Structure 1
Amino acid sequence: LPLFAPAASVYASTELGDELRGLGSAFLSQRAARRFVGYLDGQIDRMLGHARGGKVPNRPELVERYGYDVKYASHALRLAYQGLEIAEHGRLTLPMPEAEREHVRRLKTGGVATMDDALDQIRAVRNRLVESLESGSAVLPAEPDTDRISVWSIEAHRRHWRDHHGF
């Protein structure tokens, strides 16, 4: 996420940090978009009370107030929208575009009446993301550009050691 934060939101950066942020697109790939699917599926599992290898945090106050854990639901929807943007446009807009952000906010504040309705909305975006990846319409390469990232990383280390340690 720091690679895609707007410059106005970056508190401090160095020359190397600016260069790394400039490489953001090299990190994006279909693999990254598939990770978003995995993360959002984990949020759905937790929302449904299923834990993978551990106890699900209990937020009974949310379940009592809204009928389901709106926090897990909103995280799942956010991940679905962000994964979809990566797959369809090869970028990650931060903060999220207003329409998607408002949809996530509405879900998080109980604006979606039932868990089934929330799941339907989350799964609709998830299905668009998966379809983009499976149909081949995703604009992303299959894998990140590790060659470009590695070349920059090695050179960045050399410059850092040369400039700060005299090597």
Structure 2
Amino acid sequence: MFRTNQTALFVFIAIIAVLLTPAADVYASDLVVEKPWARASIGVSRPTAVYLTIRNGGAVTDVLTMVTTPAAGMAEVHKSEVKDGLARMSPAGNVEVSAGTTAILEPGGLHIMLMELKNPLKKGETISMTLHFENAGPVDVAVPVYGIAASGPKFSD
């Protein structure tokens, strides 16, 4: 009886530890997806953005070709830039991650736009997302949602 209770307690603690662990970095082949986060949305009619880094520790270039998520009808990589004094945002297409480099998707630069949201994204939630790469294939990522005005995991509101 004591051994059964001890085993049950161990399993319970292990399950709680997994549930309480914050979104972790994701490793796929030679790629490491780090620090994923999204901004909360203003309803479903307004898009929101996801930010993260992709580190390629391998010897071969890989390419992010597509992003999918059940949270939105459309997800695509966009780039923000200021040209002639005007801020613009446009689709960026594929993201090449050369061997030994890191692609940074951050506010004011490359980012993943989530459009046609199924439900509003609320601070404290986590959404699932799949990054599709030419070589590494699909990589599933858990993305925590920060506040609307958040600037990242270290400085979230």
Structure possessing the higher radius of gyration over alpha carbons: 1
Under a length normalisation based on structure 2, what TM-score does the superposition of the two structures give?
Answer: 0.22
Under a length normalisation based on structure 1, what TM-score does the superposition of the two structures give?
Answer: 0.21
Greater strand proportion: 2
| Higher RCO, Cα 8 Å, sep 6+ | 1
